[in-house]
Amino acid sequence: MRAPHVLLTGATGSVGAEVLARLVAAGTRVSALIHRNGRFLASDGSVVESPEADSLSGNVRLDGFGLSTNERLELGRSVTCIVHCAATTDFGASQDEYDELNVGGTRHAIGLAREWDVPLVHISTAYVCGLRNDVIGEDELDAGQEFGNGYEQSKFRCEQLIRDASSHGLRAAVVRPAIVVGRSTDGAIREYKNMYPVVKLIVEGKLRSLPGRYDATLSLVPVDYVADVIAAVVFDIKSAVGGTYHAVGAADLSLRDVSDVFAEYPSFAVAKFVPAASFSIDDLERNEREYYLRIGARYTSYFGRRVGFDATNTEKLLGRRAPATGKDYLRLLLDFCLDSGYLGTPLPSIDDVLRRLGTE
């Protein structure tokens, strides 16, 4: 029996680096495929380093990840699992980018998994459900849904490829994170992506009116929990193969909840959500219109969905419930954004205040 050896793509990303940290901490050898030079940074900015980890130059856009014949032969002798995290999560990416990086990358991951006869762990998104409402089951995929953006649709296509390949012998498991945000313990996040830019525009008063409904729900999930789920799938890959696992928080937040929490912060503006049928871009002032068209419009489909995600498979795999992600967790995220300076001006520490007063 071969010792565990994982080929990991996307290891320089927020989720990938956290997955890397968990795998090497458990003594798993990891070959991290990187397209450009970069360090593996955890959510708090610390460097993930281990003698169990090595970097491998490649490109998921290319067949065989662009690895040479000799590299593929050598890796094929030792790799026991592929974890495919690499993807663009940019809602404003071009269709070519989604086709080449997300869909093409998954196709190439499937090809290598077949070539080496090893299981594949594919990282998708819970929002492959598209614009559906209600509670989404982990095993559900194609319900004729429409999609809020090209990213969701690309991940849906990826899962279709996985299912088709699985019907022809591929051993695969799929992990579907919700909206990935800061660490469960302190809200720490390395990159302010996804919902963070639109939150920043809202609380700074640059987006004052948005189409949405106050009973719409947002499913947030801490980045560390997502990594826990992925690592658990890898560690129990024989049992996990054939399953789909929702990496989601224990509670969804309604837009009313979000607005109420924003209102607790004196320096924050609070956007007004209006029914989509009543919203008109022409009613916005010029600057707000530009912010809306360039950033806000990419996210507004999330402000009209009332969706939840079943996580029975995931909870059974981990043997525990997901972390709390209600109002208190949102406050934790916002406090970290304030302390880091991403939102507003960070408050001075007590030591700083006393120093300024000359009492120290």
The model's pLDDT over 2-55, given as tens digits with 9 standing for 90+, comes to: 789 999 999 999 999 999 999 999 999 999 999 876 678 777 788 788 888 899
Longest CA–CA separation in the chain, Å: 73
Q: Chain-centre distance of CA 39, in angstroms? A: 19
Please report the pLDDT score of residue 321 as a whole number. 93
Instruction: Supply 61's token pair.
Output: 């856009």
Average pLDDT over residues 80-104: 96
Please report the pLDDT score of residue 70 as a whole number. 97
CATH of domain 5-181+220-249+307-322: 3.40.50.720
Mean pLDDT for the chain? 93
Residue 310 buriedness (CB in 10 A; 0-12 / 13-18 / 19+): middle
Buried b (16+ CB within 10 A) or exposed e, 238-268: eebbebbbbbbbebbbebebbbebbeebeeb
Contact (CB, 8 A) for 53 and 32: yes
Residue 118 to residues 5, 113, 286: CA-CA distances in angstroms? 11, 5, 54
In this prediction, residue 194 has a pLDDT band, given cuts at 50, 70 and 90, of confident
Residue 153 has pLDDT above 70, yes or no: yes
Task: Give residue limits of the domains in the chain.
Answer: 5-181+220-249+307-322
Sign of the alpha-carbon torsion through 153, 155, 158, 164: negative
- Report the percentage of the chain scoring pLDDT > 90: 88
Count, in order, helices (H) and strands (E) of the chain. Answer: 13, 15
Which residue pairs from 352-358 have beta carbons closer than 8 angstroms and sit at least 24 positions apart in sequence? none
Residue 360 has pLDDT above 60, yes or no: no
DSSP 348: P
Instruction: Supply 252's token pair.
Output: 């969804």
Q: Considering only 37-41, 128-132, 201-205, 256-260, which range has the smallest mean pLDDT?
A: 37-41
